[in-house]
């Protein structure tokens, strides 16, 4: 069989086109540096490359999430570090105020500085991120965490409340990896670890055996109700006794010593609890007698029994209140009395066994004050708005300084936790970046052109193309005579 000239022509043309396509393909591979232009170039390699590119996008997304979380953590650490510095400065103010040589004018200035610190603390606690989210509002990131809910006559805050969520905001930064980036302000600034309740004052009240649920600082108001006298001395309560007596105690806790020097009850001396003796007459219906600890009783000596000389046991009843006297309970001189705040319903357990005087005790529910309550109470103590004695004021300041230390330590624990998370995220970012680089290298190896091999192939295809052109030239010169011959 003869091969027809048409077949020869078509085959030559096909070879030329095939060589030209290969030349063009190799030229693109060499100039672009990429071996894979379309899936047909290497279907298996192209499938791997496409999968790698999908994974690369995942790595890019995970790295971006890690960077965002790290930035939020760093903002949190910076804010809390500033809070620690602020607390350190406030502690210095408290120590200065607790120095007996500090003038009253200086204490007034220190109280104002603590109030300024409260405002600064509020700014730190309400710090926002560039997107407007609050750092310390937990999952309620668009709600302002803290706000002033009450002020005193000078416009200074007396109560600051938390309005955010009590749950930390957690983000997934990679598969099975989460980070707590926006903390609950309740956990950070209102951390509480209840300790023993303490009483500072002269009444003799102490912590009861029950568990309190009141928090922060408070006051125990111990009020005198009535005084009565045992025996046949003839002494009675004075006209001011109910309102002005400060003695409190069960029968025999306090005593009067009466000496009728006249023998007729007309005059003599009287003393309270071994205190200084003062003169009396049978005309005294409201005689003030003061004991060695400053306790006071008003007595009526108009009916002193003639010739009475001796000790008179007293009973003085009283009441307890933690809401300024709005609600109260009678003192029963037991090891545990439950005193309820009529406004909040919170309870304080009081050991009233040794209560011997009326007055107001400062109550410290240790470990329950949030950072704002601590600073507010410290400001008021430095200014001595409670009119405490020097000794009592110093005792309260010492407890508040201890509370500052506790809060400082608690903030430090939070900073440590955030720092650990930040370090973990940094390590995760480095790991993801390494994986992405390795993946990119693998993809480049699959896509990249082997330039040396491509150049050799290009030369071969060009030689083949030239040969095809020569064959085509010969085919085109065939005539009918050539075919016949």
Angle ∠(266,267,271) on CA atoms, nearest 5: 135
- Long-range Cβ contacts of 24-32 (<8 Å, 24+ apart): 26/454, 26/457, 26/458, 26/461, 27/458, 29/449, 29/454, 30/449, 30/451, 30/454, 30/455, 30/458, 32/449
Average of per-residue pLDDT across 72-91: 94
Task: Identify the weakest region by mean pLDDT among 63-77, 161-175, 240-254, 255-269.
Answer: 161-175
| pLDDT of the residue at 180 | 80
Q: Half-sphere exposure of 174 toward its Cβ, with a 13 Å CA cutoff?
A: 20
- pLDDT bucket at 1, cuts 50 / 70 / 90: very low
Cβ contact 314:297 at 8 Å: yes
pLDDT, tens digit, for every residue of 267-301?
A: 999 999 999 999 999 999 999 999 999 999 999 99
Mean pLDDT (the chain) is 86
**More confident position, 387 or 36:** 387
Longest dimension (CA), the chain: 179
| pLDDT of the residue at 370 | 87
| pLDDT of the residue at 483 | 54
pLDDT at 81 over 80: yes
| pLDDT of the residue at 484 | 58
Is the C-alpha dihedral spanning 396, 397, 402, 408 positive or negative? Answer: positive
pLDDT, tens digit, for every residue of 440-465?
A: 787 666 665 556 666 666 677 676 66
Beta bridge partners of 280: 268
Query: DSSP E strands: which ranges in 8-90?
Result: none
Spell out a b/e string for 114-147, using b for 16 or more CB atoms within 10 Å of the CB, else e.
bbebbeebbebbbbebeeebbbbbbebbeeebbe
Radius of gyration of the chain (CA): 46
pLDDT at 480 over 60: no
| pLDDT of the residue at 267 | 96
| pLDDT of the residue at 67 | 86
- Tell how far CA 104 is from the center of its chain: 33
Average of per-residue pLDDT across 383-390: 88
Average of per-residue pLDDT across 345-367: 93
Average of per-residue pLDDT across 199-205: 93
- pTM listed for this prediction: 0.69
| pLDDT of the residue at 440 | 76
Beta bridge partners of 249: 316
Residue 271, C-beta contacts closer than 8 angstroms, at least 6 positions apart? 256, 257, 277, 278, 289
Query: DSSP E strands: which ranges in 175-266?
Result: 177-182, 197-200, 206-207, 216-229, 236-237, 249-259
Closest CA to 256 of 321, 208, 198, 304: 304
pLDDT, tens digit, for every residue of 212-246?
A: 999 888 899 999 999 999 999 999 999 999 999 99
pLDDT at 127 over 90: yes
- pLDDT bucket at 338, cuts 50 / 70 / 90: very high
Average of per-residue pLDDT across 345-354: 96
Distance CA 300, CA 239 (A): 8
| pLDDT of the residue at 100 | 86
pLDDT at 478 over 60: no
Cβ contact 201:185 at 8 Å: no
pLDDT, tens digit, for every residue of 173-196?
A: 767 677 788 888 888 888 667 888
| pLDDT of the residue at 471 | 64
pLDDT, tens digit, for every residue of 4-59?
A: 556 656 666 666 676 666 666 666 666 666 665 555 556 776 677 678 778 888 88
- pLDDT bucket at 71, cuts 50 / 70 / 90: confident
Closest CA to 319 of 242, 397, 224, 184: 224
pLDDT, tens digit, for every residue of 397-437?
A: 998 998 899 899 989 999 998 888 888 888 888 888 888 88
Average of per-residue pLDDT across 205-209: 96
| pLDDT of the residue at 217 | 84
Average of per-residue pLDDT across 302-331: 96
Beta bridge partners of 143: none
């Amino acid at each position: 069989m003869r091969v027809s000239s048409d077949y020869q022509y078509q085959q030559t043309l096909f070879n030329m086109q095939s060589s030209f396509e290969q030349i063009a393909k190799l030229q693109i591979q060499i100039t672009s540096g990429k071996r894979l232009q379309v899936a047909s170039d290497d279907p298996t390699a192209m499938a791997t490359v496409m999968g790698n590119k999908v994974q690369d996008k995942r790595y890019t997304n995970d790295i971006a999430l890690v960077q965002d979380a790290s930035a939020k953590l760093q903002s949190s650490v910076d804010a809390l570090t500033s809070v620690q510095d602020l607390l350190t400065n406030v502690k210095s103010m408290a120590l200065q105020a607790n120095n007996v040589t500090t003038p009253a004018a200086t204490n007034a200035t220190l109280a104002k500085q603590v109030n300024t610190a409260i405002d600064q603390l509020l700014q730190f606690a309400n710090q926002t991120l560039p997107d407007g989210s609050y750092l310390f509002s937990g999952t309620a990131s668009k709600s302002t965490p803290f706000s002033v809910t009450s002020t005193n006559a000078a416009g200074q805050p007396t109560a600051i409340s938390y309005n955010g969520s009590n749950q930390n905001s957690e983000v997934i930064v990679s598969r099975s990896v989460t980070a707590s980036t926006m903390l609950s302000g309740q956990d950070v600034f209102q951390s509480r670890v209840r300790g023993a309740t303490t009483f500072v004052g002269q009444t003799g009240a102490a912590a009861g055996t029950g568990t309190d649920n009141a928090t922060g600082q408070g006051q125990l108001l111990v009020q005198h109700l009535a005084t009565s006298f045992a025996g046949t001395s003839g002494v009675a309560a004075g006209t001011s006794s109910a309102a002005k007596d400060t003695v409190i105690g069960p029968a025999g806790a306090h005593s009067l010593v009466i000496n009728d020097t006249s023998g007729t009850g007309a005059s003599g001396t009287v003393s309270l609890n071994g205190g200084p003796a003062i003169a009396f007459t049978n005309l005294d219906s409201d005689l003030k007698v003061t004991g060695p600890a400053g306790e006071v009783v008003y007595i009526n000596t108009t009916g002193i029994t003639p010739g009475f000389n001796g000790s008179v046991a007293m009973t003085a009843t009283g009441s307890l209140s933690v809401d300024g006297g709005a609600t109260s309970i009678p003192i029963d001189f037991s090891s545990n009395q439950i005193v309820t705040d009529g406004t909040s319903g919170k309870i304080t357990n009081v050991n009233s066994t040794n209560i011997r005087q009326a007055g107001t005790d400062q109550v410290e529910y240790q470990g329950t004050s949030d950072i704002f309550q601590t600073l507010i109470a410290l400001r008021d103590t430095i200014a001595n708005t409670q009119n405490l004695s020097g000794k009592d004021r110093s005792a309260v300041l010492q407890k508040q300084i201890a509370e500052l230390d506790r809060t400082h330590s608690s903030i430090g624990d939070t900073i440590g936790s955030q720092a650990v998370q930040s370090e973990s995220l940094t390590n995760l970012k480095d790991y993801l970046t390494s994986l992405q680089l390795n993946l990119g290298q693998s993809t480049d190896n699959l896509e990249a052109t082997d330039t040396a091999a491509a150049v050799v192939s290009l030369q071969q295809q060009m030689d083949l193309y030239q040969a095809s052109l020569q064959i085509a030239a010969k085919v085109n010169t065939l005539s009918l005579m050539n075919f016949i011959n």
